[in-house]
A and B are shown apart, each in its own frame.
Chain A
């Protein structure tokens, strides 16, 4: 499949994946804040939880792909960079996001 079509499809698929995850994530924040959970109490719930590990790993992966494509589009349209350079920068940014995200997931579930 042509790369532009693939990127378009991937960006929509990752958006679909993220939509319910974002809502759950926000609900979770509200819940944790309102109930005044401490860091320790949060860690007690997440550590060793396969459910939360899967939830946030999926979230991080989808966000990294989605952001890479979006960033590339912004760079191509709004900067004088060529497609090649824009793709390189966007991929670097995406990988960084993926690494940081996975590290955070690892920190709360391990």
Chain B
């Protein structure tokens, strides 16, 4: 792409980068990093770790937007850093890179993701089937309504960008958050799911879908274009309908 070799990369040789160091009580540390063509924010962090301070803690694995491990706060917004080009987040060659919001900071740019995944369990974002290995495979036509409904909420890479973007998560520590609820809704739409009531009861309790304000911070920031707000709105309706008929 012509845009990828923008002349900016050539004429602006350096970036000023503030990187979070330490735990919750840390501070930002300034680094000067050479600019290069098609540079991603993850490239910047990796350069600092290789050339300036080998003790810098951060996470990544795939570098192609599959694994969901590289999310950080970049100039105030949650981003998947491996797929975020520097030129899309800064105009004046300045970057501030911090750990994701709403999660305990372990060290530098690495957060403790345990609360995020614990909440997936709290929202019952797991499958319970009724068939055994001796039963024939379930056949779900790709064009069927059910399959299309499930499609809308899958493909989550568990990056916690939405979780960091959500103000309600910040205000209400027991709110399970957009990713867990989005996953719960995908589970509800799985025709093989044997116990939909289990999911709907879990999401209808305190800290569940009714805590969401539908402000769409999650949908705006999700790097793979999912819309947890829509899934949560659907969960609100489904949970009410099922709970009012089953008590």
A residues bordering B, Cβ < 8 Å? 1-5, 7-9, 76-78, 83
Expressed in whole angstroms, the Cα–Cα distance for A69 and B123 within the complex equals 23
Q: Are A5 and B239 in contact (CB under 8 A)?
A: yes
Closest 9 CB pairs of A and B: A77-B171, A5-B204, A2-B204, A8-B210, A4-B210, A1-B243, A2-B205, A4-B206, A5-B243
Residues of B contacting A: mostly: helix
Chain B residue nearest to A9 in the complex (CB): B240
- Which B residues touch A78, using CB under 8 A? 171
* 19 residue pairs A–B, Cβ–Cβ below 8 Å: A1-B243, A1-B244, A2-B204, A2-B205, A2-B243, A3-B205, A4-B207, A4-B208, A4-B211, A5-B204, A5-B243, A7-B210, A8-B210, A8-B236, A9-B240, A77-B168, A77-B172, A78-B171, A83-B206
Interface of B with A (CB < 8 Å)?
Answer: 168, 171-172, 201, 204-208, 210-211, 236, 239-240, 243-244, 247
Closest residue of chain B to A5 (Cβ to Cβ) is B204
- Whole-angstrom CA separation of A8 from B244 in the bound complex: 12
A-B contacts, CB under 8 A, total: 38
Q: Are A76 and B172 in contact (CB under 8 A)?
A: yes
CB nearest neighbor in B for A78: B171
**Considering the chains assembled together, what is the distance between the CA atoms of A76 and B210 in angstroms?**
13
B172 to chain A, nearest CB (A): 5
Q: Which residues of B contact A3 (CB under 8 A)?
A: 205-206
Structural contact, A4 and B236, CB atoms closer than 8 A:
no
Chain B positions within 8 Å of A2 at CB level: 201, 204-206, 208, 239, 243
Nearest residue (CB) in B for A1 is B243
The smallest beta-carbon distance between A57 and chain B, in angstroms, is 26
- Give Cα A8 to B172, complex, Å: 17
A9 CA to B204 CA, complexed, in Å? 11
Greatest chain B CB density within 10 A among A2, A7, A9, A77 is at A2
Residues of B within 8 A of A76 (CB): 171-172
Tell me whether A5 and B206 are in contact (CB under 8 A): no
Kindly name the residue among B201, B206, B207, B247 whose own CB sees the greatest number of chain A CB atoms within 10 A. Answer: B206
Assembled-state Cα–Cα distance A83/B206 (Å): 9
B210: which A residues are within 8 A, CB to CB?
A: 4-5, 7-8
Residues of B contacting A83 with CB < 8 Å? 206
Q: Write the nearest CB–CB distance from B181 to chain A, whole angstroms.
A: 13
14 extra A-B contacts, CB within 8 A, seeds A4-B205, A4-B206, A77-B172: A2-B201, A2-B204, A2-B205, A2-B206, A2-B239, A2-B243, A3-B206, A4-B207, A4-B210, A4-B211, A8-B236, A8-B240, A76-B171, A77-B168
Q: Which residue of A lies closest to B211 (CB)?
A: A4
Interface hub of A3, A4, A7 (most chain B Cβ within 10 A): A4
Give the complex CA separation of A31 and B239 in angstroms: 44
Say how far A106's CB is from chain B's closest CB, in angstroms. 35
Question: CA A78 – CA B172 in complex, angstroms?
Answer: 8
